[in-house]
Amino acid sequence: MNYKLTIGWLYPELMSTYGDRGNIVVLQKRCEWRGIKTKIKRLDLGFNLNDLKSCDLLFMGGAQDRQQKIVANDFAKEKIKALKDMVESETPGLYICGAYQFLGKYYKEADGTIIPCLDILDLYTVNPGANHPRLIGNIAVELQGVNTCSPSRCNCSYTLIGFENHGGRTYLGKNIKPLGKTLVGFGNNGNDKTEGAFYKNSFGTYLHGPILPKNPLFADSLIRLSLEKKYLPHQKAGGSPTINLSPIDETLENKARSAIAKRLNVKL
Amino acid sequence: MNILLVLFGKLLSTISRFFNLGSGSTWPGHLALLINKNFIKDLLKNSKIKVILVTGTNGKTTTGKLIQTVLEKSGKKVFQNASGANLLNGIASSLLLHSSILDKINYDYAIFEIDENILPFILKEITPDYLILLNLFRDQLDRYGEVNTITKKWQKALSKLSKNTTLILNADDPQIASLRRHLEGVNIKFFGIDSKNNTEKTQHASDSIYCPNCGEKLTYISTYFSHLGDWICKKCHNKHPQETFTSSPFYPLSGVYNQYNTNAAVLLAQALGFDKEKITASLKGFKPAFGRQEILDIEGKKAQIFLSKNPTSFNESLRTIASLNAKTILIVLNDRIPDGRDVSWIWDVEFENYVDSFEHIIISGERCYDMALRIKYANSLKNQKIAIGQFNNLTIEDDLRKTIKISLSKIDTKQTLYILPTYSAMLEVRKILTNKKIL
């Protein structure tokens, strides 16, 4: 089968700090190396709704406050609705840091001001103010949000390795589950040991690094989910994997992962 | 009071160097400030010395050294703070070490490179005669926060600037040039580079392509690198300043970024009244600051170090060495505090444009495997060869000493090994290379 994926990159110009575009590079290359054709659709300010709807996988990175305000202004009602529909209909997506917060219900500033967000995911974020330190450092997370097994190999337990750097503390509502359990680091809020969130095939996380290069099985899961959603539309979300991706050598990935895991005293 | 502190500090610094406890470039000042928090202010109050401050993400050390070279060539007595000792304690130490024991400063000029984050604090202590703002790029987001945050702090600090200070601003950086707003009565001069031979397509790590005034996307008539260029806001008509100095008579270092550093230094020298011939002559005798295009000779082979500490400086290093036809390169990536603990930024570097032109890429440092992954994904090979890790021109070795040996073995006599290290890695590389016995 000649697979083809359209990857939608939401606001590459504005929502892209901390090397987040590395995630796009990884998704694209891991597809190409397997003969899966990819098209990267850059969805910048004023993007066309049909372009968004044509995507099989979505990605949005973090941003500076000012940039995020510009994006918020660009997110007109019909854009929010279209994105919400895609999330509800199980289009896979990865949302990092600022984007993760942005998909929630609201962001509460230190002075109590409530900034409404897109209200797509059942979560909210609180900025506790300048007296509380930003949550910064290397982080290890036991992945719970997605099955990283493939029909040919089982990796049911997988540890995500990354770097977090956020002032906001995120709390999850009833209708959403954490992406994983924080083993070392702060995660969503530094208290409840949760990190990130997943709802259907949408994944939010605070992990930079960027997240995908050092967590190739998570990257492959996103690719697999996108292919399954596109080519096997009747398969239920969260079911066991059916499409088998050919393996890619992970020597370098494993060395990069274990270098950090060793420092954090985490077993991979 | 300060007489005692100066004496005490000098003594401490001597002891420190004698027992090899460090260069003493920060902590004597740290102690002096603990005892007298107005130490810097008091010391400068009684002095006729002219103070030049240089800040920005990239180019502080080189620009400072360029200015020092020009001034010294004209017979002026000049001192500069130690590279990297650019927080309050470093400034205090530098003043302390250059004061006589009677707390008099017998110099004509002091040049201080200032960490961009602490400029507001420094301006409370020091009224500079000249303040050079070079640029703002993303750098160590874990430590500094975002570019916009720093600009806001600067704008606030500059609003209280003395009328005796001349501001020297980069006209091509919209964030920097836009600081002129709300600064009536302040003497401002602009530098930039000549648009004729420097146009590039915008690179990825562009931070300030939105108008600092109204938030509208800026229009670029030409772009030189990152967000530097000839810009205009079509909405609020904020635009690149017209009168901009772009023509140093001589450029001692390669790289577009060094054209900026040189033009900033020459503009300052002209403002101080030095004539063109003297400036040219001193630039011709310029020796780079350590690790900034510094060339070391190792048994007939050359190693040239290009400090590469953030996406922009890395991109410009790559562009410069590619123009020098580099074939063998060594990249050293560390993640200590001076490097930034987050190495995500390497994914904002445009390796894709360059990796295929290098014959050997050698990688070391504490995060060598992160860098190796970046190179793996930057390679243009479409087939599985790269995916399965068989790229013949990549060597990864975490032992730095061994790495340097391997790297030098890959070049012939008279060839150059190009080394691109982060900050702490640069210090280590230099230490190994300058101690020739080890090789």
The pLDDT tens digits along chain B (439 residues) read: 677 777 777 777 666 665 555 556 777 888 888 888 888 888 888 788 999 999 999 999 999 999 999 999 989 999 998 877 888 888 888 888 888 766 678 899 999 999 998 999 999 999 999 999 999 987 765 555 567 788 889 999 999 999 999 999 999 999 999 999 888 889 999 999 987 766 655 555 455 678 888 888 889 988 888 889 999 999 999 999 999 999 999 999 998 999 999 999 999 999 999 988 999 999 999 999 888 999 999 888 999 999 998 888 899 999 999 999 999 999 999 999 888 899 999 999 999 999 888 999 999 999 999 999 999 999 876 655 555 555 658 899 989 999 999 999 999 988 999 999 999 999 999 999 988 544 4
The pLDDT of residue A239 is 67
Asked if A108 and A125 touch (Cβ cutoff 8 Å), the reply is yes
Distance from B305 to chain A by nearest Cα, in Å?
A: 24
Tell me the pLDDT tens digit for each residue of A162-182.
999 999 999 999 999 999 999
What pLDDT shows up at residue B6? 73
| Nearest of B210, B240, B249 to residue B222 by alpha carbon | B240
Q: How far apart are CA B117 and CA B60, in angstroms?
A: 13
| Residue range A39-63: mean pLDDT, rounded | 94
Residues B248, B190: Cα–Cα separation, whole Å: 13
Instruction: Name every chain B residue with its beta carbon within 8 A of the beta carbon of A32.
Output: 382
Distances in whole angstroms, Cα of residue A228 to Cα of each of A28, A220, B4, B255 = 17, 12, 76, 48
- Give the contacts of B13 (CB within 8 A, at least 6 positions apart): B24, B28, B93, B96, B97
Q: Which of B141, B344, B372 sits opposite A209 (nearest CB)?
A: B344
Q: Which of A32, A67, A165 sits opposite B142 (nearest CB)?
A: A165
> Tokens 């001034």 sit at which residue?
B71
d(CA B4, CA A81) in angstroms, rounded, equals: 70
From the CB of residue A54, how many other CB atoms can be counted at a distance below 10 Å?
12
Contact B128, B50 (CB under 8 A): no
Using CB atoms, pick whichever of A69, A165, A210 lies closest to residue B347. A210
Count of A-B CB contacts under 8 Å: 101
Q: A248–B346: do the CB atoms touch at under 8 Å?
A: no
CB atoms within 10 A of CB B231: 24
pLDDT at A46 over 80: yes
CATH number of B2-284: 3.40.1190.10
Q: Where in chain B is the domain with CATH 3.40.1190.10?
A: 2-284
Mean pLDDT of chain A: 92
Q: How far apart are CA B315 and CA B225, in angstroms?
A: 9
The rounded distance, in Å, linking the Cα atoms of B208 and B173 is 8
The sign of the torsion formed by the CA atoms of A220, A221, A224, A229 equals negative
B152: helix, strand or coil: helix
Strands (E), A16-147: 37-43, 57-60, 93-96, 106-108, 114-116, 123-126, 135-143
Q: How far is A251 from chain B (nearest CA, A)?
A: 7
Secondary structure E strands in A167-249: 169-172, 180-184, 194-195, 197-199, 202-205
Better-scored residue on pLDDT, A4 or A19? A4
Whether A55 is a known active-site residue: answer: no
- Residue A249 above 50 pLDDT? yes
Whether B28 contacts B7, CB under 8 Å? no
Per 3-state DSSP, what percentage of chain B is helix, strand, and coil (rounded to 5)?
40, 20, 40
Smallest CA-to-CA distance from B83 within B68, B70, B99, B65 is with: B65
CB contacts of B396 in chain A (<8 Å) are 252
Handedness of CA A245, A247, A252, A258 (dihedral sign): positive
Q: Which CATH class is domain B292-438?
A: alpha beta
CATH numbers and ranges of domains, chain A: 4-264 (3.40.50.880)
CB B82, CB B24: distance < 8 Å: no
Note the pLDDT of residue B439: 43
Concatenated DSSP letters of B76-122:
--EEEPPTT--SHHHHHHHHHHTS-TTS----SEEEEEE-GGGHHHH
Which phi-psi region, left, alpha or beta, contains residue A38 (left: φ > 0; alpha: ψ -120 to 50)?
beta
Q: Is A149 a catalytic residue?
A: no
User: What is the pLDDT, as a whole number, of residue B437?
Assistant: 47
Across residues A93-110, what is the average pLDDT? 94
User: Which carries the bigger pLDDT value, residue B187 or residue A13?
Assistant: B187
The alpha carbon of residue A247 is apart from the nearest alpha carbon of chain B, in Å, by 9
Contacts of A151 (CB under 8 A, 6+ apart): A241, A242, A244
Among candidates A29, A137, A210 on the partner chain, residue whose Cβ is nearest the Cβ of B344? A210
- Could you say which of A55, A97, A117, A166 is catalytic? A97
In chain A, residues with a C-beta closer than 8 Å to the C-beta of B138 are: 17
Strand partners, B286: none
- pLDDT at residue A180, as a whole number: 97
Q: Which two tokens stand for residue A146?
A: 């997605």
* Ranges of CATH 3.90.190.20 domains, chain B: 292-438
pLDDT score recorded for residue B41:
86
